[in-house]
Amino acid sequence: MNVRAIFIDMDGTLLTASNNISRRNLEAIYMLINQGVKVFLATGRHYEVTAPYHKEIGLRTPMICLNGAAIHEALTGKALQMRPVSLNEERFHHLTTERPCNVIIHTADGLYCKETNEEIDYWTQVGQIPPLYIGDLRQANYQDVLKYSVRTGTAVPEFSALFKQEAEVIDWHDGFELVAPKVSKWSAIRSLLHAYRINPKETVAIGDGPNDIEMLRHVGTGVAMGNANDHVKAAADFVTGHHQNDGLAEFIERYLYKPYEPYVM
């Protein structure tokens, strides 16, 4: 398999359930880097909670954040690309206040949320930046929204469908996310591949969630984690092991690692 770049999802792929990178996954990534493969992170997370892991690995490639709505430079964190989403705010807040749910708004300046929770507390701990606002979002003064996240505790496709005319909708088992039309991890990957002059056919993407489906379908080799649902697996060329069992490393070791062959006279 001739591979020049790999794009790796974080939650449910690179990371364990305790938000750590296993030693085996780290070593597998280092093997790829030593072979000259460009390694990128492609995540739904915002920059502040992506960068510490990017630094832990020692990557110098740009980070794809917020499902492709933002691309950040490796060393400074400067936004190389941002794709804001524009909704009818009055309608959005009317619909989300009618239902019991938490709303998290990711902007170019930071995080706004209806209420805090364990996940947001973790983000604050890792990113060292608390939400800019917690409370009734109708009273919040924000702009340049990159992603809306609506957490309902269960899948609500009939609810998320109300926003399909305004945004790209990503349905999850506990709610949905909204980004700008035609924005996805794949749209960001396509921009980076153009900048690095890499053919998509020479590219691998690996992930486990509905926000990974587009990139799995469009790269040369799409890999779904063993913990992914059937819809995600159907979009992939390969299915590897569970993220708790180093499925990322398993795929790299089996298909991408090229052992050194000494030159023989």
Domains for the chain: give ranges and CATH numbers.
5-82+183-256 (3.40.50.1000), 89-179 (3.30.1240.10)
Q: Is the pLDDT of residue 50 over 50?
A: yes
Residue 176 makes CB contacts below 8 A (sequence gap 6+) with: 149, 150, 152, 156, 157, 159, 160, 169, 170
Please write down the HEC assignment for all residues of the chain.
Answer: CCCCEEEECHHHHHECCCCCECHHHHHHHHHHHHCCCEEEEECCCCHHHCHHHHHHHCCCCCEEEHHHCEEECCCCCCEEEECCCCCCHHHHHHHHHHCCCEEEEEECCCEEECCCCHHHHHHHHHHCCCCCEECCHHHCCCCCEEEEEEECCCCCHHHHHHHCCCCEEEEECCEEEEECCCCCHHHHHHHHHHHHCCCHHHEEEEECCHHHHHHHHHCCEEEECCCCCHHHHHCCCEECCCHHHCHHHHHHHHHHCCCCCCCCC
Confidence of residue 260 (pLDDT cuts 50, 70, 90): low
Residue 179 makes CB contacts below 8 A (sequence gap 6+) with: 66, 67, 68, 69, 83, 85, 146, 147, 167, 168, 170
Instruction: Indicate the average pLDDT of the chain.
Output: 96
Q: Is the pLDDT of residue 1 over 80?
A: no
Of the given ranges (120-134, 226-240, 251-265), which has the lowest mean pLDDT? 251-265
**Greater pLDDT, 259 or 236:** 236
Q: What percent of the chain has pLDDT over 90?
A: 95
The confidence score (pLDDT) of residue 26 equals 98
The confidence score (pLDDT) of residue 259 equals 74
| Average pLDDT of the segment spanning 102-124 | 96
The confidence score (pLDDT) of residue 217 equals 98
Q: Is the pLDDT of residue 218 over 90?
A: yes
Q: Is the pLDDT of residue 265 over 70?
A: no
Q: Is the pLDDT of residue 142 over 70?
A: yes
The confidence score (pLDDT) of residue 263 equals 47
List, for residues 177-197, the tens digit of each pLDDT value. Answer: 999 999 999 999 999 999 999
